[in-house]
Amino acid sequence: MTRGAGGALVALALLAPGCPRGGPAGGAAPSPHAEARALIDEGQYDAALARLGDEGDAEALLLLGRAWAGKAGPARPDPGEDLRPEEQQALDFLERAVAADPTLAEAHCAIGDLLAPHALVRIETRTTARRGTSSAVPSVAGAERVMRAYGEALQADLEDTTAVNALIAFASRAGRLREAEAGFQELVKRDRENPDVLVRFGDFLAGPGENPEAALSRYAQALIWRRDDPSTWRKMAAIHLDAARRHLDQREYPAAEGRLREARKFVTEPASPEAARLREIEASLVDVRGRR
């Protein structure tokens, strides 16, 4: 899949850390790493740092990075500043972790999670500047660095889906729609029989992806696994009705009738908005043909 780094930026929302979490095997005595993980998950970052001490293996470096990122907190980055000291400390540890073990997907993902809010602010600042409002742009690595971090997490773990979801969320917010679509394609490969994933992909294609015909294919795949899903039927009906209206407006009457036939297959509730639209477009088509 394309892991390079490409719409209107949605209001900034910090990405929740989505890296896979490890832990001790059942029944085993807690290791320093496991204890540090538990402390980090509880928000006891200073205690985790003290527990890790001077340990320097890849996992310890990862946990030190996570602890420092936790100490930095979730505050929205300042457009006029670079990484805060705690964030820079976290990045240093995380980069040392991936240098020590390039297959450590969690560390790559954590780098993406750490830098994503800064990259989004950078994009937002550039958008504001284009509108005539000057504002400092941070020198922190931007979208390319975030996309690379998530891409490296995907390469390091060929089955986990957390980094894929993080990539999709970031790319969508950053207006990188081609990369977001590639992320969805990868997600479908990793979770083939999940109708929720297929519906999410269809919603993306029908919305920001601007490819409703491709969305129909994903919705149809979802119905294979979850046939009794009126919500997906309604979405498919709406796409066919939109197409029928466009054909009607362009005087392409046979094509409009064809799309209405398809829409009827998915309109199952007579009182639904889709049923009302179907009746309205059918009446318009009858009226036009009656006047010809």
Tens digit of each residue's pLDDT (9 = 90 or more) over 55-87: 689 999 999 999 999 999 988 887 767 899 999
pLDDT recorded at residue 246: 97
Q: What pLDDT does 20 receive? A: 54
Chain segment 85-133, per-residue pLDDT in tens: 999 999 999 999 999 999 999 999 999 999 999 999 988 887 655 555 5
Q: Does domain 192-292 have CATH number 2.60.40?
A: no
Which residue in the block uniquely carries the two structure tokens 């908005």?
A: 273
Q: Which amino acid is at 250?
A: Q
What integer pLDDT is reported at residue 141 of this predicted model? 58
Distance CA 163, CA 150 (A): 6
| Per-residue model confidence (pLDDT) at position 10 | 30
- Report the share of the chain in percent with pLDDT over 90: 73
DSSP state at residue 287: H
Q: Report domain 1-20+31-189's class.
A: mainly alpha
| Phi, psi for 213 (deg, rounded to 5) | -65, -40
Q: pLDDT below 70 — which residues of the chain?
A: 1-30, 55, 80, 127-141, 291-292
Domain limits, CATH 1.25.40.10, in the chain: 1-20+31-189
Name 130's Cβ contacts closer than 8 Å, sequence gap at least 6: none
